[in-house]
Structure formats: C-alpha cells, structure tokens
Amino acid sequence: MATKSRTRPDSEQKSVTADRAARLYRLVQFLGSGPKTREALRRKLKLDTRGFYRDLEFLRAAGITVNLDRQRYVLHDNLKKSLHNLPFPDPNLTLGEVAQLAKGRTRAHRKLKQLLARIIG
C-alpha cells in the first residue's frame, strides 16, 4: 500500500522564525554527524517531546527526510543537501537560496548575510 506524501509544495510551506530556523539548522547539523536517539536530540536542542516532533514534521514538510532506524533518527540525504533545503525566515526561500542571494555587496546583501549568520551561528 502506498503512503501519502506529507511534503508540501513550496508555495504552501509555513514561514519560520529566525530562532526556529536556527534550531532546525542545529538539528540537521547534529543528525548529519550520525544517528541519534530522540533523547539525545531533545537534550541538544532543549526541546520537550512535543516540540521535537513538531520540528521533525516541519523538516519532513520541507523535503528533508529523517528516518527512524533501531530507535535512532537518521538523516536520509547528505548533510549539504539537507541544509540547502532548510526553510529561511521567509516562506518562499530556503537556506541554500539565501546563501546564494547573500553573495553580493549591496546593503540588501549585507542584511541577508547578517540573517544567515544569525541562523548558522
């Protein structure tokens, strides 16, 4: 039986705050270093169980596949691709798109660089 995909089209993705974008970035980075238990992820991100599952669902809706294998969460795609697909604090941009847009020298580019630095840390 085929399962229905929960990934939303780009136009339907929810917007994300800068703080949440930073937390999602840390979550993907941590998963990129290898499989992790739910408790390890919750402690690292200082989340309760409900918040953890909300972030996990948000990642999946953004097209970032995180699987559960032997009670450990595993990032399905490579880290670079997953980070590129992270949503940015604008409902129509991904982290990768913002990184590309921030390469210029204008005031707008500097502003994007500052926002990106705030998320990436």
Task: Name which of 18, 27, 25 is nearest 112 in CA terms.
Answer: 18
- Residue 16 pLDDT more than 90? no
At 10, is the pLDDT very low, low, confident or very high (cuts 50, 70, 90)?
A: very low
**List of residues 6+ apart from 81 with CB closer than 8 A:** none
**Structure tokens of 65?**
């596949």
pLDDT tens per residue, range 18-77 = 899 999 999 999 999 999 999 999 999 999 999 999 999 999 999 999 999 999 999 999
Question: Which pLDDT score is estimated for 8?
Answer: 42
SS3 66: strand
Residue 26 near residue 45, CB atoms below 8 Å: yes
Q: Who's near 103: CB < 8 A, 6+ residues apart?
A: 109
Alpha carbon distance 111, 76 (integer Å): 32
pLDDT in tens, 81-110: 999 999 888 767 888 888 998 998 999 899
Q: How far is CA 101 from CA 4, 31, 32, in A?
A: 34, 26, 24
Confidence of residue 14 (pLDDT cuts 50, 70, 90): low
All domains of the chain in start order, with CATH: 16-120 (1.10.10.10)
